[in-house]
A and B are shown apart, each in its own frame.
Chain A
Amino acid sequence: MTATANTKVVEILGAEPMPEEQSQLQIVTRRFMRHRLAVFSLAMIVGIFLVAIFVKQLTPILPSDIEVNNPYAAPFSVSAATGLKHWLGTDQLGRDYWTRILYAARVSLTVAVTCTLASSIIGIIVGAVAGYYGGAIDALLSRFLEFLLTIPQLPLLLILSAILLQSPDILPIPRVVIKVMGSIMLIPDSQAFQAVVIISVLVAFGWLTVAQLMRGMVLSLREQQFVEASRAMGANDAYIIFRHMVPNSMAPIIVSASLALGGFIILEAALSFLGFGIQDPTPTWGNMLAATQSYMFEHPWLPLIPGTPIFICSLAFNFVGDGLRDALDPRLKL
């Protein structure tokens, strides 16, 4: 019944008006809005995404423009060669910091979003299949999931990226993928390969959490009566999994995805900081931070320039994830 028909009936019968119907999206949004910190963080994330999308409009300089005569220029100084203002100064090769931060935002955010999407898809499929069919496959998979999740992951990420970055032939990546990622991140194809390798390495361990979550949800949903009813009506397994189980499990997956976005930004920055991630000249917050380490003692404010965005992004995604968790299902224990 629509609202107007409802009120008409009510007027005729003289009864109490029923409350307005609210879609689930409205309920969730209203609950989310109650967390002011989460809303503020969401606004900040949207702002960062907008900045990353409109980099070319925000700065006329390119991240690879070197001004050899102008290293470590002070912030707000004007370059003698090009007459352009360096808002945050220049690095050791005379490249503008402001530009590099913006382009690095684009790279880092693209890596994070791609990793989250890919690992969510893979994790959902594997987790749902494992949870639904059960048996020996499920037992084996859950043992391995548990093992891979409890082992410290950074050493494994480091060795995988060390091997894959040095021997490009091991992982066959289609040229199309490299071209597309390169054009999204605004970096040339030769460097886009590194980014795609890092994305693959991060996804290789990223899908585990989602798979574990999905498996748990499917295990509990499998016993519900609507599944039995579906089967009685002749639905096959794939239909039940993708049409019933996956949509009903989206709440913890969405929360996990928003937390994972922040986690991937930090992981990619950590890998690049240690030198096993995306390398110069592609700007990414991690390798910019590593580059400032050697010059930290003479110019102490340098590490703060690339480090602060990492911290802010991580904090913002964590706040949003927390807010989503409360909004989607307050009883959720993740």
Chain B
Amino acid sequence: MSTYLIRRVIQMIVVLFFSSMASYALLNLAPGGPLTGLRQQTDPRKRITAEDVARIRAYFELDLYLPFRYSRWLIGQPTGPLTIGGQQYFSSLIVGCRQPIEKTFELPNGKFETRTTGCQQYVTLKSLIGRRSSRGILLGDFGNSWGILRDRPVSTVLLSRLPSTLKLMVTSSLLALLIGIPIGIYSAVRQYSAFDYTFTTAAFVGSSMPTFFFGIIMILIFAVGFKGLGWFYLPPGNAMSVRDYAIPGLGTVQAKSVLDQFLHWIMPAAVLTMFGVASWSRFIRSSMLEVMRQDYVRTARAKGLLERVVILRHALRNALIPFVTIVVFELPGIFGGAIITETIFNWPGMGRLYFDALGRNDYPVAMAFLIIVAVLTVIATLLRDILYTVADPRIRLS
């Protein structure tokens, strides 16, 4: 089993490596970077010189060749020549081009195109000494934000959103599991009953409902509708209010109090929980149905065990094995799974941060989000493999 796990770990490292290359490629393709618009000034007083362009390119490390740029982004090296025992090696290795020679051609259709045809000033390893360097993605240094918090570290931005994300996602995932599993079990045990039929239809309808529509309907009913009718209503946005407000039935709610935060939390959590319940309970139901047809359940009943013991101790345990392997993938979902819900309810979480970052072309933040989600997915997959071998002894011993 350990060889299997080691093999999986190595495969996952390869997958992560390729995903980091894909992310870096996306980051490079991204429009709206630091150089956009700089060259398009036609006013002679504001036009920037070639030296300025070279300086800005050097600042954003755009003058280095792609492999070196990528490795500096990933691990922070190379920061200079290889120094072993005081001796510098590879000082004159060319790693980039500070000032490329650009020629403007006229294309047959009348448009002009500027192409790089060579280099008039190269960058060597030696000149990398003294450049600002990051510790690299692997050590958590994601660079600086381009837009959301200009020139502040991306990790600051991400960490500032982490508490609200956890507050919403962890609670709704737990609630979905706590509500969904018993409903699924009861529905499987009482198959073909009225409860089962109602529940399966409700779960089916619930999982076909688009999240954004359901969120908007909830706002319409609980915030707009109830408020218009003068009833108790739920405040429809953000995680907490700025000023005190009054709710019929509860009196005045202090801003930023626990009650205030709770009221704001109810609707987004309800949307997320409902979807979680719809999918988990269906899964548990089908898993339980499959398990309960097995011979060992019949044996357990024939032994005279209480029905409750048969279901909870024998059937459920086996039904949970595939379930656990699916639940693990809540881990990346906690971090990045609720973009739409957070956007509708204006909840200040990671999902909405990603959405804002994309809207403002703040690609370092977006990239950091994607990389963290990818890493969490890989960890969740590994966890799933480990749990699968732990939960099912047949796999462990085969």
Chain A residues with a Cβ under 8 A of chain B: 143-144, 146-147, 150-152, 154-156, 158-160, 162-163, 166-167, 170, 262, 266, 269-270, 273-276, 289, 293, 296-297, 300, 303-304, 307, 310-311, 314-315, 318-319, 322
Query: Given A166-B31, A289-B213, are A150 and B329 neighbors across the interface (CB < 8 Å)?
Result: yes
CA distance A316 to B58 in the complex (A): 56
Contacts of B26 on A, CB cut-off 8 Å? 159-160, 163
30 contacts between A and B (CB under 8 A): A143-B14, A146-B381, A147-B377, A147-B378, A147-B381, A150-B380, A151-B332, A154-B339, A155-B354, A158-B354, A158-B355, A159-B358, A162-B358, A166-B361, A167-B29, A167-B31, A269-B212, A270-B210, A270-B340, A274-B343, A293-B344, A296-B216, A303-B213, A303-B217, A304-B220, A307-B216, A310-B213, A311-B208, A311-B213, A315-B205
B59 CB-CB contact with A under 8 Å: no
| Contact string against A for B residues 309-341, beta-carbon threshold 8 Å, 1 for contact and 0 otherwise | 000000000000000000001001100110110
- Which among B89-97, B241-249, B367-375 touches the partner chain? B367-375
B332 x A152 contact (CB < 8 A):
yes
CA distance A154 to B340 in the complex (A): 9
B32 CB-CB contact with A under 8 Å: yes
Contacts of B220 on A, CB cut-off 8 Å? 296, 300, 303-304
Out of B15, B333, B354, name the residue touching A143 (CB < 8 Å).
B15
Min Cβ gap B247→A in Å is 17
B378 x A152 contact (CB < 8 A):
no
B377 x A274 contact (CB < 8 A):
no
Query: Given A162-B358, A273-B340, A318-B208, are A155 and B370 neighbors across the interface (CB < 8 Å)?
Result: yes
| Contact string against A for B residues 274-287, beta-carbon threshold 8 Å, 1 for contact and 0 otherwise | 00000000000000
| Contact string against A for B residues 192-223, beta-carbon threshold 8 Å, 1 for contact and 0 otherwise | 00000000000011011111110011011000
Query: Given A156-B370, A167-B29, A318-B208, are A150 and B381 neighbors across the interface (CB < 8 Å)?
Result: yes
Give me the 10 closest cross-chain CB pairs, A-B, nearest first. A307-B213, A166-B31, A315-B208, A314-B208, A151-B377, A167-B31, A318-B208, A162-B358, A303-B216, A266-B210
| Contact string against A for B residues 1-31, beta-carbon threshold 8 Å, 1 for contact and 0 otherwise | 0000000000100110011000000100111
Chain B residues with a Cβ under 8 A of chain A: 11, 14-15, 18-19, 26, 29-32, 204-205, 207-213, 216-217, 219-220, 224-225, 228, 329, 332-333, 336-337, 339-340, 343-344, 354-355, 358-359, 361, 366, 369-370, 373-374, 377-378, 380-381
CA distance A166 to B19 in the complex (A): 23
B210 x A296 contact (CB < 8 A):
no
* Residue of chain B at shortest CB distance from A151: B377
A269 x B210 contact (CB < 8 A):
yes
* Residue of chain A at shortest CB distance from B223: A297
Contacts of B205 on A, CB cut-off 8 Å? 315
* Residue of chain B at shortest CB distance from A168: B31
CA distance A274 to B210 in the complex (A): 13
CA distance A208 to B212 in the complex (A): 25
